[in-house]
């Protein structure tokens, strides 16, 4: 069975590894090609966009793909839409592999927002020292907040760096430990954390540290994705593929 995994996530990487190890699948992982040194999954690899939903549909057909797994990040909404359209057009079974979102628990002080515009309005009203943990691609919306000091954490340096009045960039790749996150927030005197509701364990410690320290969290809600069969673990994805193979 030829399986295309749309990746760029820990989930996509783990599934590619499990499929290669299972020995019954030919797996092709697809990465967008945004990061300079991505973690490369085992199996076949392709890099870069397909050219929209039509391009992906063509790829499914010419590469004789039997099953598609969309394991892209919960905020990769365009790819999610294209995957659903292309799979429907070609009649290829599609599964979504997605980590569950984080949920606020007792002691959390979250403000959930739909977009960065709303996040900026919240910060303008209440924040002075902000930990911006949203990656490097969508920083520009925050640059006009001249009265706020930002600690920006990203895997790679923002290029171009938006014109922040007061900002420091910290380059780091998760997973992040609770003790380190606690130290980071305290030593930079952070009052508010801004992040996306990515879910998963690798980036969760900052939320625990924020709760312990009584800090505010501005949490961007996930975008809406097409409604699809969805699982949250490698094992469930393997079971879905195995059932497809024996059908
Ligand atoms: P996006 O906005 O949903 O997609 C934009 C375009 O990038 C797509 O239309 C597609 O181009 C291309 N693309 C996206 N994912 C691809 C993949 N796995 N393989 C081939 N092409 C892909 O995506 P994004 O939010 O920029 O995310 C890009 C990648 O980074 C994804 O693989 C995602 O899993 C990963 N990622 C994203 C985030 C996040 O916060 N958004 C966080 C961590 C990792 P064409 O239309 O030309 O096919």
Mean pLDDT over 22-28 rounds to: 96
- What was the pLDDT predicted at 93? 98
d(Cα 235, Cα 238) in Å, to the nearest integer?
5
From 15, 27, 32, 78, give the residue whose CB has the most ligand 1 atoms within 8 Å, as the site to mutate. Answer: 32
Residues across the chain:
247
- The mean pLDDT of the chain is 97
Residue 76 Cβ inside 6 Å of ligand 1? The answer reads yes
Q: Long-range contacts for 137-146 (Cβ within 8 Å, ≥24 apart)? A: 137/34, 139/164, 141/116, 141/117, 142/116, 142/194, 144/120, 145/120
CATH 3.40.50.720 range(s) for the chain read 2-98+225-246, 110-220
- What was the pLDDT predicted at 16? 98
Mean pLDDT over 11-19 rounds to: 97
Q: Which CATH code is given to the segment(s) 2-98+225-246?
A: 3.40.50.720
Residue nearest to atom 24 of ligand 1 (CA): 76
Structure-token match 């949490």, residue found: 219
* pLDDT band of 176, cuts 50, 70, 90: very high
pLDDT of 37 higher than 90: no
Structure-token match 């690899």, residue found: 45
pLDDT of 133 higher than 90: yes
Mean pLDDT over 226-234 rounds to: 96
* pLDDT band of 230, cuts 50, 70, 90: very high
Of 134, 102, 71, whose CA–CA distance to 201 is shortest? 102
CATH number 3.40.50.970 given to 110-220: no
Q: What are phi and psi of 16, to 5 degrees?
A: -60, -45
């Amino acid at each position: 069975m030829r399986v295309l995994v749309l990746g760029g996530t820990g989930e996509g990487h783990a599934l590619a590894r499990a499929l290669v190890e299972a020995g019954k699948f030919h797996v092709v992982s697809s990465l967008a090609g945004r990061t300079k040194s991505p973690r490369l999954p085992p199996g076949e690899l392709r890099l870069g966009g397909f050219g929209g939903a039509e391009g992906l549909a063509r790829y499914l057909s010419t590469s004789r793909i039997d099953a598609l797994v969309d394991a892209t990040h919960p905020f990769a909404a365009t790819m999610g839409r294209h995957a659903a359209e292309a799979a429907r057009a070609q009649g290829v079974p599609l599964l979504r592999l997605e980590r569950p979102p984080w949920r606020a628990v007792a002691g959390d002080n979250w403000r959930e927002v739909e977009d960065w515009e709303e996040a900026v309005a919240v910060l303008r009203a209440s924040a002075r020292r902000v930990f911006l943990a949203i990656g490097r691609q969508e920083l520009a919306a925050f640059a006009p907040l001249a009265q706020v000091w930002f600690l920006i954490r990203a895997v790679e340096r923002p290029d171009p760096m938006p014109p922040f009045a007061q900002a420091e960039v910290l380059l780091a790749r998760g997973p992040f430990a609770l003790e380190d996150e606690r130290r980071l927030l305290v030593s930079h005197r952070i009052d508010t954390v801004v992040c996306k509701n990515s879910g998963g364990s690798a980036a969760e410690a900052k939320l625990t540290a924020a709760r312990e320290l009584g800090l505010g969290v501005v949490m961007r809600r996930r975008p809406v994705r097409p409604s699809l069969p969805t699982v949250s673990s490698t094992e469930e994805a393997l079971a879905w593929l195995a059932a497809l193979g024996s059908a």
